[in-house]
Structure 1
Amino acid sequence: MTKLWRLSYTKLLSQLSQTKSLNPGLQIQTHLTKIGLSNDSKHRNHLIHLYSKCGAFEYAWKLLDESPAPDLVSWSSLISGYAKNGFGKDAIWAFFKMHSLGLKCNEFTFPSVLKACSIMKELFLGKQIHGIVVVTGFESDVFVANTLVVMYAKCGELLDSRLLFEEIPERNVVSWNALFSCYTQNDFFDEAMCMFGDMIVSGVRPDEYSLSNILNACTGLGDIVQGKKIHGCLVKLGYDSDPFSSNALVDMYAKGGNLKDAITVFDEIVVPDIVSWNAIIAGCVLHECHHRAIDMLNQMRRSGIWPNMFTLSSALKACAALELLGLGQGLHSLLIKKDIILDPFVSVGLIDMYCKCDLTKDARLIYDLMPGKDLIALNAMISGYSQNEADNACLDLFVQTFTQGIGFDQTTLLAVLNSAAGLQAPNVCKQVHALSVKSGFQCDTFVINSLVDSYGKCSQLDDAATIFDECPTPDLPSFTSLITAYALLGRGEEAMKLYLKLQGMGLKPDSFVCSSLLNACANLSAYEQGKQIHAHVLKLGFMSDVFAGNSLVNMYAKSGSIEDANCAFSEVPRKGIVSWSAMIGGLAQHGYAKKALHLFGEMLKDGVSPNHITLVSVLYACNHAGLVEEANKYFETMKDSFGIEPTQEHYACMIDVLGRAGKLDDAIDLVNKMPFEANASVWGALLGAARIHKNVEVGQRAAEKLFHLQPEKSGTHVLLANIYASVGLWGDVAKVRRLMKDSRVKKEPGMSWIEIKDSIYTFIVGDRSHSRSDEIYAKLEELGQLMAKAGYVPMVDTDLHDVERIQKEILLSYHSEKLAVAFGLIATPPGAPIRVKKNLRICLDCHTAFKFICKIVSREIIIRDINRFHHFKDGSCSCGDYWSFLGLRFQDGSVPCVGEDLLCDSADRLPERDRSDRRSAGVLLPTSFPGRYGISDLGSRLFSSLIGFILLVSPLTGSSTCTTWEVEPMKKDHPTQDRRHHICLGSHSQSLF
């Protein structure tokens, strides 16, 4: 009877060991103690085996210590338990303890000890155990041999592992599985597949473990076709319900790009375990089905399975992608509540989640608390800083960790380069470039592309182009980076050439390339080329792409076709803030201020909140239309209505509005009340306002600030000189000239562009470099005669160079925009619109001339200057003559004369045959406009007879005198009392307004 009881307890304990049921085992031990069977060796060994398998080593050691003579079975159970639970160091210590007692290993002990060596990567000890195996004669035992194969492989000795496998006399399926496992775990997937074929040929039938390992190899290779064949074998052999095989199938389908089949296999698992849940959740995250991943996590929790580190790592990625801060913090709290020590993967997941939720301080706290910071954690933190535009923190951390010797890789360099670009720090880019060369990353495609992108964003296009040219096989991102850089910096021609090279290499452009090309066309005002890129967008199927749609709106708006821009805007499938802002800005630039403001109202009704760029466009629209009150209302309510703090751009726009509306004092007050230091755009707006109002004091103050902020910009010198000239301070004008010369600042020459048949033609004043220049000048002469008959008289008062009147008329006739328009008229079909872009503001004479020309030739002429678009049609301009004349009007509605910049050297660009002696001087107002300037007919004749003025030029300063004539109006219908007019004589004089 006692023997039967012993058999019953032994069998029961074996069953409990299989199910890892610790508590029932403790109860049985108590019962055995009560009935006096606790000292039975079989019961004791079974209990030690149970406790060791359950990880309750304190109970196992207690039984071992209480045993009068623990045998090999007891020690083997303990060592096996340590090894199976991953405690390799403890297993090895127990082995040495057993060995010191004089007990020798058997075929059951050796596999456990060798497994412990595998866990600890103790190759030297493993070789010693191997020697003992040989000495004791167990090398032919298949289980010991299989474990030796695994031990050598996991210690990195795959060749020795394969040799041992070949020496196994009778290889069984476990032997093959051991080798498969070694190959797949070391990423030798092709070798694993070949060995699987050898196993089939040898006649060994695969089991579920074999097929699971081969599925892992298929997963590593991304070979879903072969994976489906293995799936068929599983079904045929009846292993499809095996949990290991099912989990491997879920993982294979998910990582092979077939999430649908992965979910199908997962749903067929009767009782999914933690590995099953981890595989499907990780698969959902991999396929960016983040909401489904969160749903799976909730289902797992409801099924009673607690997430482990792998689960949390995937779940945190989903939280990061969806910016689910609350859930992410909840998972973090769960870790703290369970007192779970964070492993590196979960720590990295937390860092990534907090960074994606814009909580870089919390992410940095996790990073700083990590006991062993590795490169993965560093990359997560540095990338988080870079993505959140915490660029200084990114660079500081990189320098700190670099000095600590943590190291870096491509990912680190990409983040640092992105931050360097954000800081506009070309020196940092060069340092990282040098570091990449020194560390051998200069040939890495990602680093090359990032360097091109960063140099481009830092305006170092030559460096960007050099790196691109040195790349042996530039890929699509390389082209995209450089094309984007060219487009952003206004070098559209280079961008288009690069696009042709891309096509020549057989690369297919993506939506980003098309968007960049459209932006390049926008900067060039290249309407025809933009339409061709539009055709490419249609052909390539990118019309549903939001970036391409927005770029189309921007391109057409900046190329002078607001109608096409509106059509493109209506076709954008999901209009976001960028779409609305592009269209509102386009309408504003084209002079449709009311339509722009109406569209802004429609945007708000559509539930789209504006950003700071949208509000800049709104203020710009108000500025174009002179809507001061509306502009002030939007500016004052930005924060309360839209939660947007006014930026430098908003202040600059508002100051421009006030300045053009005659409210200079209000503009000055606004500058003084700014909550931060004004930048160049603000001071530039104030300088422009000072020029309008001829306020020398304000102009000098603004110019001094700009000289400090932008010493290389010539525009500041030009505007300041014009202010001095407007009040007759010619000595100060000469000082500005000397300052420019001493500072080596050169004024940007006036240039105009026109696109004809896919080519961009550039003109400067008096240009005769074009092959059809004779035709162009003949066309201008023809137009001049027709305009004269229509009543046009050249506004020579807008050009005050020290030349004869006839030469002034020639100078005005040969302005770059007139040459471009004339070429357009002879090179395009009748009736086609003429589109010209100019890099400076259009002068008053050209503006007036184009109103005559558009009516004579019955064509629309579209001029895009530095400020806006001018649509000349049927004798009028879309700007309503407001913008061209800086918003100044006389009380009778007439406008002052505004020419180009004072420091222009257009007189020096006269055609050779039109140059004459410039020693004599005289400035004549047009006699055909009596009374326009408040001068009577008699006064006009008197002015015409005032010739032969003596030019008083200082030989040292080059300054000239300025005589101020104050003329009272002779007619009541020209109420221009108290208006002063300057007749200024000087070798470089020009606009007075």
Structure 2
Amino acid sequence: MKSIKSQSKLSRHVLTATKNAESLIIQTLDKSPDVRTLKKLHSRIISDPNLHSDTSLAIKLMRAYAARGKPEVTRKIFDRISQRNNVICNVMIRSYVNNHFYRDAILMYKSMLASGIMSDHYTLPCVLKACSASDDLRFGLQIHCPAVKKGLDLTLFTGNGLVAMYGKCGNLEDAKRVLDEMPCRDIVSWNSMVAGYAQNGRFDEALEVCKEMESLGVKPNPGTMASLSPAVTNTSKENVMFMKKIFLGMSKEELVAWNVMIAVYANNSMSTEAVDLYLQMETNGTEPDAITIASVLPACGDLSAVSLGKQIHEYVEMRGLKPNLSIENALIDMYAKCGCLVEARKVFDEMQIKDVISWTSMMSAYGRSGKGQEAIELFSKMQDLGLAPDSIAFVSILSACSHAGLLSEGRNYYRLMTEEYKIVPRLEHYTCMVDLLGRAGRLDEAYTHIKQMPMEPNDRVWGALLSACHVYNNMDIGVVAADHLFQLAPQQSGYYVLLSNIYAKAGRWKDVTLIRSIMKGRGIKKIPGVSNVELQDQVHTFLAGDRSHPQSEEIYEELESLLGKMKEAGYVPKTDTALHDVEEEDKENHLVVHSEKLAIVFAIINSKPGILIRVTKNLRVCEDCHVAIKFISKIAEREIIVRDTNRYHHFENGICSCGDYW
């Protein structure tokens, strides 16, 4: 009797200890432990017969390993469970999906059905997500049929999964039909539909869904903005303003909303707005993350806002956001656009991992600054490391050869691309070759190259030829190029101006007048020149003939004084490309107030002697400004970097890096 009582007491003690151990393990698993702790708990469970057979513990262990990115361990635990149900299978499927093993998730679902285990409203959303991520519309359709039979398509989560799957796979009509038939919809339902249209470039329909949401009293959230963002690259200003309206209606604590709006501005050539919004975000106290940084850095580069770019770089270092390929590539791009090649190369050299974009960005930076040999050295080093150049890398090296006048090297790279790497030339490669030949003065060969293209040349190809004709005063081929350009890009004022300048150089003023008459008849206006210069963390913008700046009077006085010194040094205004057949004095007065001259003089007045000046212009620098800035760099003893739409110009001691061809 005493022995029986002792055994009973021992059993209760063991049971209590087991329950305590189980409780402690559950508490630890619920706290998302690291992999090392998980392994210890796992060993404890395996070694204890009472815990080893506990299915609920196994499920928690599976979830914990999945959360730590270990779906292969989750699968081992799953395989050891003899009695499986849909809960266990759902955990396994979700483990695969959350770790991006989408094909495995689909195979797991098929195995589950083959074992006679029925799916439920938790299973289908996960499998549909796997179909979406792997663009498997065919299997998604197979899931939809049984979902309808069971009535699961009417549940919120399954309905949302169907909308997302059809939208991601491009079947937008079925996505909209599912959305319209859902008896209950939430913000995820609407955002999935918005994302479907946006990902397929149908921005107008995406906007209509947003308007339908609002009409039904559903307030857009940061997820809505994130869903819209794929479609707002190079879109209309009206669409950007619609995004701004959504953004303004949101809480300013939402980092996602800030990130999307900054990216929208940056991707639509609204760099000033992107930088301003970033500064507002800082003022608001919202801390930027890696996505914010990668989005705003290109805008800093576009504005040559190198001071702000350096501050952001310091923030990246302070917050330990490196290594991060997107940020580091964006830093290279920003420094390169600002003409800071030393800083760009330092970021490049310090990168632990480099991809083709990293190499391409650095080569492009050297190329646009006229440092073709440096670009060639990088290209060779990339090959030596076993990294195969892609078509974009060849665009960079061909462009570098073009800007540096390396004709034979450019031809060799073109041959390497087509014959060794078997890359089919795209329009960008043809543009580079036409530009390369044009720079060398081989206009007939460049024209022949265009005529032999297997596809129709675009405006950039003909534009490269027209630019070469402008430099070498080849009117015959220039007129042919212009004729094609007026058909391909009838509203692009720059091409009319180039042809007009070719006529003006030849003194054919009747033809100049004719071109201006055509422009007027078509409602085409010459795009006003705009130049940006950064000073003390603020970007100052100047238009041609601008007198709106608070320091305008001082700027014009200094410009007049500088002009006198330039003429004494031998400067003669290049009035032969002025658009009007008017008096030389009037032409000269028109040229002297171009925006880049005003920006440079402003920087000279407001910065210490010897400080480098950086200017960004929205148009190509005109010939007169190019000559004038060479004189200014020598007289003012300043290094001046001007980035126009075609390249970087490094002016120092009266010489420009472009060799007077751009």
* TM-score scaled by length of structure 2: 0.84
1:278 is aligned to 2:54: no
Q: Does the aligned pair in 1 maintain the 2:305–2:539 contact within 8 Å?
A: yes
- Partner Cα distance (2:214, 2:333) in 1: 39
What's the CA shift for 1:614? 2.9
Residue equivalent to 2:318? 539
Residue matched to 2:3: none
Give yes or no for contact 1:367–1:377 (8 Å, CA) kept in 2.
no
Partner of 2:19: 239
Aligned to 1:698: 480
Check conservation: 1:799, 1:808, Cα contact below 8 A.
yes
- Cα distance in 2 for residues equivalent to 1:325 and 1:769: 59
Alpha-carbon distance, 1:725 to partner? 5.5
Q: In the superposition, relative to structure 1, how do residues 733 and 849 fare at CA in structure 2: closer, same or farther (>3 Å)?
A: closer
1:465 to 240, 244, 265: 244
Cα 1:730/1:361, change in 2 over 3 Å: farther
Query: Are the aligned partners of 1:752 and 1:816 in contact in 2 as well (CA < 8 Å)?
Result: yes
Question: In the alignment, what sits opposite 2:372?
Answer: 593
User: Counterpart of 1:268?
Assistant: 44
Please state how far the C-alpha of 1:609 moved relative to its aligned partner: 4.0
Matches within 5 A, 1:249-648: 249=27, 252-254=30-32, 261-269=37-45, 270=48, 271-272=52-53, 274-287=55-68, 289=69, 292-298=70-76, 300-301=78-79, 303=80, 305=82, 309-317=86-94, 319-320=96-97, 327=104, 331=108, 334-335=111-112, 338=115, 343=120, 345-357=122-134, 359-372=135-148, 374=153, 375-377=156-158, 379-380=160-161, 382-383=163-164, 393-405=170-182, 408-448=185-225, 450-451=227-228, 455=232, 458-459=235-236, 460-473=239-252, 475-635=254-414, 637-638=416-417, 645-648=424-427
Deviation at 1:522, TM superposition (A): 0.6
Deviation at 1:652, TM superposition (A): 3.4
Aligned partner (choices 585, 596, 608) of residue 817 of structure 1: 596
The alpha-carbon distance between structure 1 residues 467 and 746, as it changes in their structure 2 partners (threshold 3 A), is: farther
Alpha-carbon contact 1:424-1:458 (below 8 Å) kept: no
Residues 765-795 of structure 1 deviation map (CA, whole Å, 9 limit, x = unaligned): 3333333333323333333333334333333
Does 2:661 match 1:882?
Answer: yes
Query: Map of 1:199-218 to 2, 5 A cutoff?
Result: none
Q: Which amino acid aligns with 1:501?
A: Q
Kindly tell me: are residues 776 and 700 of structure 1, through their superposed partners in 2, closer, same or farther at Cα, counting changes over 3 Å? closer
Deviation at 1:865, TM superposition (A): 1.0
Q: Which moved more, 1:474-483 or 1:828-837?
A: 474-483
**Equivalent residue for 2:563?**
784
Change (3 A) 1:351 1:644: farther
| Residue identity matched to 1:741 | K
Output the CA distance in 2 between the equivalents of 1:737 and 1:406: 61
Kept in 2: contact 1:591–1:621 (CA 8 A): yes
Deviation at 1:682, TM superposition (A): 4.3
- Note the residue ranges of structure 1 that are not aligned, 5 or more in a row: 1-207, 209-232, 884-993
Residues 484-541 of structure 1 deviation map (CA, whole Å, 9 limit, x = unaligned)? 2222223232223222322232211212222222221111011222222223333333
Q: Which amino acid aligns with 1:698?
A: V
Change (3 A) 1:325 1:505: closer
CA distance in 2, matches of 1:294, 1:438: 47
In the superposition, relative to structure 1, how do residues 661 and 272 fare at CA in structure 2: closer, same or farther (>3 Å)? farther
> Do the aligned partners of 2:293 and 2:312 also contact (CA within 8 Å) in 1?
yes
CA distance in structure 2 between the aligned counterparts of 1:825 and 1:537, rounded to whole angstroms: 31
- Residues 556 and 562 in structure 1, CA contact (< 8 A), matched pair in contact too: yes
Aligned-residue offset at 1:384: 5.2
Whole-Å Cα distance in 1 between the matches of residues 467 and 183 of structure 2? 53
CA contact (8 A) 1:401 1:407 kept: no
Contact 2:532 2:617 in 1 (8 A): yes
**How far apart in 2 are the matches of 1:637 and 1:415?**
45
What is the CA distance between 1:249 and its match in structure 2?
A: 4.6
Classify the secondary structure of the residue corresponding to 2:269: coil
CA contact (8 A) 2:614 2:642 kept: yes
Change (3 A) 1:355 1:689: farther
Q: Distance in 2 between matches of 1:670 and 1:311?
A: 65
Any idea what the Cα deviations from partners look like across 1:25-78, whole Å, max 9, x if unmatched? xxxxxxxxxxxxxxxxxxxxxxxxxxxxxxxxxxxxxxxxxxxxxxxxxxxxxx
Q: Secondary structure at the match of 2:539?
A: strand
Query: Could you give the per-residue CA deviations for residues 300-346 of structure 1, whole angstroms, max 9, x where no partner exists?
Result: 43x47476544544444555566657755754664576466555555
Distance 1:304 1:360, change over 3 A: closer
Q: Which has the higher contact order (CA 8 A, sep 6+)?
A: 2
AA aligned opposite 1:702 = H
Moved more, 359-368 or 611-620: 359-368
Identity across matched positions, percent: 33
Q: Distance in 2 between matches of 1:800 and 1:679?
A: 26
Instruction: Work out the CA distance in 2 between the residues paired with 1:418 and 1:641.
Output: 41
Q: How far has the Cα of 1:569 moved from its partner? A: 1.9
Question: What SS class does the counterpart of residue 638 from structure 2 fall into?
Answer: coil
- Give yes or no for the alignment of 1:836 onto 2:612: no
Q: Distance in 2 between matches of 1:830 and 1:448?
A: 47
| Separation in 2, partners of 1:785, 1:864 | 26
RMSD of equivalent CA atoms: 3.7
Q: 1:854 corresponds to which residue?
A: 633
* CA deviation after TM superposition for structure 1 residue 474, in Å: 5.2
CA distance 1:511–1:234, shift in 2 (3 Å) = farther
Tell me the alpha carbon deviations over residues 910-930 of structure 1, each in whole angstroms, 9 at most, x when there is no partner.
Answer: xxxxxxxxxxxxxxxxxxxxx
- Give the deviation of 1:434 after TM superposition: 1.0
Q: Hey, what's the Cα distance between the residues in 2 that align with 1:607 and 1:385? A: 40
For 1:827, the equivalent position in structure 2 comes to 606
Shift of 1:869: 0.7
| 1:702-729 deviation digits (Å, cap 9, x = unpaired) | 224424xxx5433343345446656777
Q: How many residues align?
A: 636
Give 1:662 shift: 4.5
**Separation in structure 2 between the aligned mates of residue 699 and residue 518 of structure 1, nearest angstrom:** 37
AA of the residue aligned to 1:811: H
User: What's the CA shift string for 1:654-710, capped at 9, x where partnerless?
Assistant: 443344444556555655665666555445445545656432563254224424xxx
Note if contact 1:664-1:690 (Cα within 8 Å) is conserved in structure 2.
yes
How far apart in 2 are the matches of 1:419 and 1:657? 42
Report the structure number with the largest CA radius of gyration: 1
Query: For residues 683 and 414 of structure 1, do their structure 2 counterparts lie closer, same or farther at Cα, with a shift above 3 Å needed?
Result: farther
Structure 2: which 5+ residue stretches go unaligned? 1-11
